[in-house]
């Protein structure tokens, strides 16, 4: 190739949608197809997306790296100690040797905190652990360090739980994840006990299968889901012991199904455990949330408006039933309140590379980004 020309290409990554959280590492490379069909691939470019709206200070512990922009050194030392103590407590509780570093970003202001987490963040979230990037985000004003004593260990328990259960096949139930986080950070307290008892008495207690995935979007249902989660974990420990709870968590790490994991750990499937837990709370009329099985006999009269007539058969399709009050919203629904788009001033990422070529006919950018974990603390 004689006297090849030099071409350059810049790519600006649009971050205005707010779907990219700080501390996410991007891996990109350019592929150039030359005029003769030859493919030239450039080296990987690694960039960590950062929230540069603030002048961050950093304090490093044994595992936790604290990043903060508001508050004095004493505040930062307290927050770092909470992080170190929280990760140690969660690791000990779940019998896991946690060694990998965790970044802990403390936001003092609500608006930039929600901007950092993205538009799908619910308005009652005070902390979130992104277990893929091993990053904890928490909303803690310097004068609210007492609140941090709950939210920090809660979120760090999610990191330990994810380290134990991560597998390419099957995710554990959310109620188990959240229930353990609440149990470790604050225990099964009086407020949660009262919520579960009231729900059992008035018939609004949700079966655990109803909160396996996303929690309800209503405030009442959201808090009840957390109360039920820690109640179920407390019941499991009282009935079978903490060692069997650890055995259950580790079983999920193998990719086992819910029923297989429960049978391995405590000898019963999820349905039997769910029923026993509800009865332990005095729930006599066990509600069934979600789609109902097709009834036998003639089609109910209120189904005929859609044109369905005649007797039921195996081919008859039951319409989607209306979820009972407080039932969990399907994963991915947009019912939760969002935080809006990131503020102006959050910089875009620019990649640039030069390519020696006579004729460039195609340039390809490959960006690898990790998925987000589900939100954590209440």
**Lowest mean per-residue pLDDT among 141-145, 243-247, 259-263, 356-360:** 356-360
Three-state SS for 210-272 is HHCCCCCCCHHHHHHHHHHHHHHHHHHHHHHCHHHHHHHHHHHCCCCCHHHHHHHHHCCCHHH
Quick: pLDDT tens for 76-131: 999 999 999 999 999 999 999 999 999 999 999 999 999 999 887 877 788 899 99
> 337 and 225 in one domain?
yes
Q: Which of the four pLDDT bands, split at 50, 70 and 90, describes residue 205?
A: very high
Q: Which of the four pLDDT bands, split at 50, 70 and 90, describes residue 173?
A: very high
> 354 and 273 in one domain?
no
Task: Give the total number of structural domains in the chain.
Answer: 2
> 329 and 215 in one domain?
yes
> 352 and 271 in one domain?
no
| Any domain includes 124 | no
pLDDT for the residue numbered 289: 61
Q: Which of the four pLDDT bands, split at 50, 70 and 90, describes residue 269?
A: very high
> 248 and 364 in one domain?
no
Answer yes or no: are the C-beta atoms of 238 and 266 closer than 8 Å: no
Higher-pLDDT residue of 367, 170: 170
| Any domain includes 297 | no
| Any domain includes 147 | no
With a pLDDT cut of 70, the percent of the chain lying above it is: 74
Quick: pLDDT tens for 14-64: 776 667 899 999 999 888 898 899 998 989 989 999 999 999 999 999 999
Answer yes or no: are the C-beta atoms of 199 and 231 closer than 8 Å: no
**Lowest mean per-residue pLDDT among 182-196, 247-261, 360-374:** 360-374
> 350 and 273 in one domain?
no
Q: Does the pLDDT of residue 309 top 60, yes or no?
A: no
> 358 and 331 in one domain?
no
- Residue range of the domain that includes 29: 6-52+342-368
Answer yes or no: are the C-beta atoms of 24 and 370 closer than 8 Å: yes
> 190 and 331 in one domain?
yes
Higher-pLDDT residue of 33, 336: 33
pLDDT for the residue numbered 13: 77
- Does the predicted model carry a pTM greater than 0.85? no
Nearest to 224 by CA among 247, 197, 242, 244: 197
Q: Does the pLDDT of residue 332 top 80, yes or no?
A: no
Q: Which of the four pLDDT bands, split at 50, 70 and 90, describes residue 4?
A: low
- Mean pLDDT across the chain, nearest whole number? 80
| Any domain includes 135 | no
> 285 and 190 in one domain?
yes
> 264 and 356 in one domain?
no
pLDDT for the residue numbered 337: 31
pLDDT for the residue numbered 3: 55
Nearest to 256 by CA among 270, 237, 271, 239: 270
Q: Does the pLDDT of residue 350 top 80, yes or no?
A: no
Q: Does the pLDDT of residue 357 top 70, yes or no?
A: no
């Amino acid at each position: 190739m004689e006297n090849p020309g030099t071409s350059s290409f810049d790519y600006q990554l649009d971050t205005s949608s707010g779907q990219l959280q700080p501390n996410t590492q991007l891996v990109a490379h350019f592929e150039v197809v030359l005029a003769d069909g030859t493919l030239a691939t450039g080296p990987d470019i690694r960039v960590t997306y950062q929230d540069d709206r603030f002048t961050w200070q950093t304090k490093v512990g044994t595992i936790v790296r604290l990043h903060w922009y508001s508050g004095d050194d004493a505040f930062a030392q307290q927050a770092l100690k909470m992080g170190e103590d929280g990760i140690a407590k969660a690791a000990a509780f779940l019998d896991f040797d946690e060694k990998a570093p965790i970044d802990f970003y403390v936001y003092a202001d609500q608006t930039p905190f929600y901007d950092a987490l993205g538009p799908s963040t619910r308005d009652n979230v005070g902390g979130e652990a992104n277990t893929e990037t091993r990053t904890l985000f928490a909303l803690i004003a310097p004068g609210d360090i007492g609140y941090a004593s709950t939210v920090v260990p809660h979120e760090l328990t999610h990191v330990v739980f994810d380290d134990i259960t991560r597998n390419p096949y099957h995710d554990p139930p959310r109620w188990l994840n959240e229930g353990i986080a609440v149990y470790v950070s604050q225990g099964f307290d009086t407020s949660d006990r009262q919520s579960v008892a009231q729900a059992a008495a008035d018939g609004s207690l949700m079966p655990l299968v109803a909160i396996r995935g996303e929690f309800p979007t209503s405030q009442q249902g959201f808090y009840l889901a957390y109360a039920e989660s820690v109640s179920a974990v407390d019941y499991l420990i009282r009935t079978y012991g903490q060692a069997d709870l650890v055995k259950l968590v580790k079983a999920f790490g193998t990719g086992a199904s819910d029923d297989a994991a429960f049978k391995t750990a405590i000898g019963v499937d999820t349905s039997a455990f769910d029923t026993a837990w509800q009865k332990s709370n005095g729930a006599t009329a066990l509600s069934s949330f979600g789609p109902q099985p097709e009834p036998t006999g003639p089609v109910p009269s209120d189904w005929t408006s859609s044109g369905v007539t005649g007797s039921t058969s195996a081919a008859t399709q039951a319409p989607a039933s209306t979820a009972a009050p407080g039932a969990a919203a399907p994963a991915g629904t947009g019912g939760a309140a969002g935080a809006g788009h990131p503020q102006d001033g959050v910089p875009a990422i620019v990649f640039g590379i030069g390519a020696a070529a006579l004729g460039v006919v195609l340039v390809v950018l490959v960006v690898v980004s990790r998925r987000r974990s589900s939100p954590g603390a209440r």
